[in-house]
Amino acid sequence: MAATSAVGQVTRVGFYSRSCPRAESIIRSTVQSHFRSDPTVAPGLLRMHFHDCFVQGCDASVLVDGPSTEKTAPPNLGLRGYEVIDDAKRQLEVLCPGVVSCADILAVATRDSVVLTSGPSWPVPTGRRDGRVSQASDTSSLPGFTDSIEVQKQKFTAKGLNTQDLVTLVGGHTIGTSACQFFRYRLYNFTNTGNGADPSINAAFLPQLQALCPANGDGGRRIGLDNGSPNKFDASFFSNLRDGRGILESDQKLWIDPSTKTLVQRFLGVRGLLGLTFNVEFGKSMVKMMWLELDLGK
């Protein structure tokens, strides 16, 4: 996809109101069309946007093709939803050639896709310019599925995001799936336990996971990250962590580490703690993330 610079120097909500007034409505209708035929585009776009923003800001550099680009890095090999951005971009180039950046299309499309899963909406500041630099090596800043809470916090802090942002944004796993290959080791390869399983997994939940992901089964089989409602944006992801039903090791650790457990409990409305409303906080953290490393001169 060819990068296009957004016109102007100011990033704000409604940036295209004069230069391309139908931009956001076209993006929204495109997302709706793809979502109707394949609801998995919603978590796909959310993950792609997160992976884009965590590497040199939300500049669409994750969309750049070529050898050794971000797209070719292991953490990004499973990204999905490129066809949605391509579709919206084609339509906008006909209507407003050279005006709307891919970075803004991805940001707006992500918000609109979350809304379609019964999730929150949030104001998306637009006017970004697309990044021309995309290097696979830069993806080391992305959180990993085996990262400790301390490492996760360090990676978020490096981006200007705090521990509450960490817990909130990881809560985006309330929609979407993970392949067995990214968590199967938790089911069989823990040598310090009698049954070989990660002791943080609920004993009643373990047989279900093992049936879905046999030791020698298909590593590409996908399992919902939010047991019970993987297609609906809600706070049940945090309930699963409380109940030892987190799929990824890095997710379940949010309940184990005291510094993040309290925040999970606040999202669950535990008595005696100041409550947090997941949908409200998610929108706030998404907006905060969108300002990461913003460079209008790219």
One pLDDT digit (tens) per residue for the chain, 298 residues: 333 343 344 688 999 999 999 999 999 999 999 999 999 999 999 999 999 999 999 999 999 999 999 999 999 999 999 999 999 999 999 999 999 999 999 999 999 999 999 999 999 999 999 999 999 999 999 999 999 999 999 999 999 999 999 999 999 999 999 999 999 999 998 877 667 899 999 999 999 999 999 999 999 999 999 998 999 999 999 999 999 999 999 999 999 999 999 999 999 999 889 999 999 999 999 999 998 776 543 3
Range of the domain at 68: 22-142
| Residue 294, token pair as written in the block | 């913003």
The answer to whether residue 211 sits within a structural domain is: yes
**Pick from 108, 142, 176: which residue ends a domain?**
142
57 is in an annotated binding site: yes
Q: Is residue 88 part of a domain?
A: yes
Is 86 assigned a ligand-binding role in the annotation?
Answer: no
Tokens of 265: 């409990």
Residue 158 sits in the same domain as residue 112: no
CB-CB contact of 186 with 196 (8 Å):
no
C-alpha–C-alpha distance, residues 63 and 70, integer Å: 8
Are both 193 and 257 inside the same structural domain? Answer: yes
Amino acid at 180: C
* pTM score, whole prediction: 0.93
Query: Does 295 fall in a domain?
Result: no
Of 83, 115, 142, the domain-final residue: 142
234 is in an annotated binding site: yes
Tell me the backbone φ, ψ of residue 232, rounded to 5 degrees.
-120, 130
Quote the CA–CA distance of 145 and 1 in Å, as a whole number. Answer: 29
Does residue 187 belong to any structural domain of this protein?
A: yes
Of 122, 142, 162, the last residue of a domain is 142
DSSP states of 8-28: SS--EETTTTTT-TTHHHHHH
Is 130 labeled as ligand-binding? Answer: no
Q: Are residues 249 and 169 in the same domain?
A: yes
Distance of CA 127 to the CA centre of its chain: 21
Domain at 168, CATH number: 1.10.420.10
Domain tally, the chain: 2
164 and 105 in a common domain? no
Element of type H or E holding 162: none
**pLDDT attached to residue 5:** 40
38 is in an annotated binding site: no
Same domain, 281 and 153: yes
Same domain, 57 and 182: no
Which residues have a catalytic role annotated?
A: 51
Question: Are both 267 and 165 inside the same structural domain?
Answer: yes
174 is in an annotated binding site: yes
In three-state secondary structure terms, 274 is: coil
What pLDDT is recorded for position 6?
Answer: 39
